[in-house]
Amino acid sequence: MTLLSLAVPATAGELSFSSPIDCDLNGPCYIQQYVDHDPSKDASDFTCSGLSYDGHKGTDFALPTYDMIDSGVDVLASASGVVAGVRDGIDDVRYSPDRAAILKGRECGNGVVLRHPDGWETQYCHLRKSSVTVVRGQSVQVGDVLGQVGMSGRAEFPHVHLSVRHEGKVIDPFDPDGTIICGEAENDTLWTDQPPYRAGGIVRIGTSSAVPEFTDIRANTVAFPNTGSDALVIYAFLFGTQKGDVIHLSLQGPAEIVIERDITLERSQAQSFRAIGKKRGGEGWPEGEYTGTATLLRADKVIDSENLTLTLP
Ligand SMILES: [Zn+2]
């Protein structure tokens, strides 16, 4: 009965994994970094693109802004297994080098390790303080809540870092056999439903009355403009941009285009933002509906685009 063997999936003997974050990875959430496949000091993700950093041993599933930590986004078990270790109690503070000593040996922050059959293990890092809901020795099913996404440990942005290991060896779930074919996703990944690959993009866009601080963009605390604002500004928060990318920003008022510009990015950056604005003349800004757009282009191709509308109070 050879027909029966055809029904065996290609990943027989391997586990399959589901997303560890209860959030849409086509936005608002996104994958910031993948496993590093480059043995040198440089870094390369599984498509030979730069969404990684040297020595990165997992995949980072990111929240767009800090306030979503407070809203509470669940971290989910990517596969069924038994809890092999937990840690909690570490503050959700954005990492800076002066915290390296405090965090030595606790770079993962608040985390959970799950042991799965046949030598597989998953580890979830940077969970929100006091959010871990499982205990050592507990059995969990795929999709069960382990805790919530935070920024504890060595994390510069809110995310859950997922490491997958087999017999102690790091495995990239997007490229389990470790053979990279540049620009192509593997057919034989470890995902039940493969998360989308976004080669950089727009995390979010917004408007304000002055060029905002990046801290406020990350925290989602940028003040909105009004008809009396000294200036009108539109900004785009970007991830995984490459040197030569172009960000097109525009803000259209009720009657006319207020501002519009193309900005060429001069270096590759994991996270950045760009803003354009215009100072107010004598009178206030007209009332009515404004439309903002941000479009990210790479080699003249649109790779991401976002819109907003607002009515100035
Ligand atoms: Zn990571």
Residue from 130, 147, 129, 151 nearest 138 by CA: 147
Q: Side chain identity at 164, as an amino acid letter?
A: V
The C-alpha atoms of residue 227 and residue 188 are separated, in whole angstroms, by: 55
Q: How far is the CA of 126 from the centre of ligand 1 (A)?
A: 9
pLDDT tens digit sequence for 1-14: 333 333 333 343 56
Q: How far is the CA of 57 from the centre of ligand 1 (A)?
A: 7
Residue 67 reports pLDDT greater than 90: yes
Write down the mean pLDDT value for the chain: 92
Q: How far is the CA of 240 from the centre of ligand 1 (A)?
A: 14
The C-alpha atoms of residue 74 and residue 91 are separated, in whole angstroms, by: 17
Tell me the average pLDDT across 182-191. 77
Predicted pLDDT at 126: 98
Least confident range of 49-53, 175-179, 183-187, 198-202: 183-187
Task: Give, as one character, the DSSP assignment of residue 52.
Answer: S
Q: How far is the CA of 36 from the centre of ligand 1 (A)?
A: 10
Tell me the average pLDDT across 263-289. 93
> SS3 string of 229-254?
CCEEEEEEEEEEECCCCEEEEEEECC
Structure tokens at 65: 């802004």
Predicted pLDDT at 188: 80
| pLDDT greater at residue 256 or residue 61 | 61
Spans of all domains in the chain:
16-171, 201-311
Predicted pLDDT at 258: 87
Predicted pLDDT at 256: 84
Task: Provide the β-strand partners of residue 146.
Answer: none
pTM > 0.75: yes or no: yes
Residues 201-311: name the CATH superfamily. Answer: Immunoglobulins (2.60.40.10)
Tell me the average pLDDT across 273-298. 93
Q: How far is the CA of 297 from the centre of ligand 1 (A)?
A: 26
Least confident range of 3-7, 31-35, 236-240, 247-251: 3-7
Predicted pLDDT at 3: 39
Residue from 63, 68, 74 nearest 22 by CA: 74
Specify the CATH number of the domain 16-171: 2.70.70.10
The C-alpha atoms of residue 157 and residue 65 are separated, in whole angstroms, by: 8
Q: How far is the CA of 12 from the centre of ligand 1 (A)?
A: 28
Predicted pLDDT at 255: 84
| Beta-carbon count within 10 A of 211 CB | 14
Q: How far is the CA of 1 from the centre of ligand 1 (A)?
A: 45
Predicted pLDDT at 14: 67
Q: How far is the CA of 62 from the centre of ligand 1 (A)?
A: 10
The C-alpha atoms of residue 156 and residue 163 are separated, in whole angstroms, by: 17
